[in-house]
């Protein structure tokens, strides 16, 4: 697996797995947690080591269970979780600390590789106060890197200007029809690695047809073309699948390169 070095110096695998419907009845985001690790175990068997979860997903403990079942060392994995951008977790220092400790306990680990503020809210000073608590956890080693999710340029820029520690990652929605080029370009310029959530979601039939045609040149699927496009522009991807075959396909991205002409076509979708 290829990696990118974050501005903290640690390496992050460029492909990970989303988990927001894993370990839940009927693979429904809002459903009851059933502790089923089937999709996580199959992903680990295929070679995934980067997993993205969150307090809001309610399944941090399911991810921990799968890692324990794998028999592999904790150090073999890159685990991301997220603090909700909600008053219960951001109202004051104690609330932030409670959230971080909740994640560490649920994931059965004494450190997390990456911890994100899941969503911004309309108070930059409060966001910064939350960030300062996360910085303390970095300095004591409990969080190896910290970042943000769904932040726009103003919100990210405020932390870049005021923080002791730069955000390492900005995780954003990015897929055909909503590439979010401006915030990706800004993040890259500032040394913040962009990461695409939902990279294979909401792809129109027309876009899928175009991508399938491009993929035909390489024996690749439309989904693999999307993921390769993101990687080639410096964006980490965290696709999610409950199907072992598709999980495998999402890893097979390193044996082809898109042409400049193809990238122009994809960018316009």
Per-residue confidence (pLDDT) for residue 240, from 0 to 100: 97
Q: How far apart are the C-alpha atoms of 196 and 180, rounded to whole Å?
A: 10
Beta-ladder partners of 112: 143
Nearby residues of 184 by Cβ (< 8 Å), 6 or more positions away: 172, 174, 194, 233, 234, 235
Q: How far apart are the C-alpha atoms of 244 and 252, rounded to whole Å?
A: 13
Which of 176, 175, 194, 195 lies closest to 185, judged by CA? 194
Per-residue confidence (pLDDT) for residue 68, from 0 to 100: 97
The DSSP symbol for 144 reads S
What Å distances lie between residue 128 and 71, 121, 191, CA to CA? 39, 11, 19
Q: What are phi and psi of 248, to 5 degrees?
A: -65, -45
Q: What is the pLDDT along the chain (269 residues), one digit of tens a residue?
A: 999 999 999 999 999 999 999 999 999 999 999 999 999 999 999 999 999 999 999 999 999 999 999 999 999 999 999 999 999 999 999 999 999 999 999 999 999 999 999 999 999 999 999 999 999 999 999 999 999 999 999 999 999 999 999 999 999 999 999 999 999 999 999 999 999 999 999 999 999 999 999 999 999 999 999 999 999 999 999 999 999 999 999 999 999 999 999 999 999 99
Per-residue confidence (pLDDT) for residue 192, from 0 to 100: 98
Helix-, strand-, coil-residue percentages of the chain, each rounded to 5:
45, 15, 40
**SS3 state of residue 105:** helix
pTM recorded for the entire structure = 0.97
Per-residue confidence (pLDDT) for residue 116, from 0 to 100: 98
Per-residue confidence (pLDDT) for residue 96, from 0 to 100: 98
Per-residue confidence (pLDDT) for residue 111, from 0 to 100: 98
- Where do the domains of the chain lie, and which CATH numbers do they carry? 3-202+235-243 (3.20.20.100)
Per-residue confidence (pLDDT) for residue 166, from 0 to 100: 97
Catalytic (active-site) positions = 57
Nearby residues of 215 by Cβ (< 8 Å), 6 or more positions away: 221, 222, 224, 225
Burial of 183 (0-12, 13-18, 19+ CB in 10 A): buried
């Amino acid at each position: 697996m290829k990696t990118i070095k974050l501005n903290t110096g640690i390496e992050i695998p460029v492909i990970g797995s989303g988990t927001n419907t894993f370990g839940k009845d009927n693979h429904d985001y809002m459903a009851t947690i059933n502790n089923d690790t089937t999709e996580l175990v199959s992903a680990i068997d295929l070679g995934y080591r980067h997993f993205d979860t969150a307090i809001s997903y309610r399944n941090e403990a399911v991810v921990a269970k799968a890692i324990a079942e794998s028999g592999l060392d904790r150090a073999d994995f890159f685990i991301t979780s997220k603090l909700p951008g909600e008053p219960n977790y951001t109202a004051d220092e104690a609330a932030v600390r409670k959230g971080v400790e909740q994640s560490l306990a649920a994931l059965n680990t004494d450190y997390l590789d990456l911890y994100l503020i899941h969503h911004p809210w309309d108070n930059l000073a409060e966001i910064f106060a939350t960030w300062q608590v996360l910085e303390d956890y970095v300095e004591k080693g409990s969080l190896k890197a910290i970042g943000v999710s769904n932040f726009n340029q103003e919100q990210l820029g405020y932390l870049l200007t005021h923080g002791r520690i730069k955000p390492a990652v900005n995780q954003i929605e990015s897929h055909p029809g909503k590439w979010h080029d401006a915030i990706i370009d800004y993040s890259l310029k500032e040394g913040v690695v962009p990461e695409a959530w939902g990279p294979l979601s909401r792809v129109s039939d027309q876009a899928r047809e175009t991508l399938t045609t491009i993929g035909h040149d390489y024996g690749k699927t439309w989904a693999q073309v999307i993921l390769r496009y993101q990687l080639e522009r410096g964006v980490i991807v965290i696709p999610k699948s409950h199907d072992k075959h598709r999980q495998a396909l999402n890893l097979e991205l390193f044996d082809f390169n898109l042409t400049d002409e193809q990238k122009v076509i994809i960018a316009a979708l």
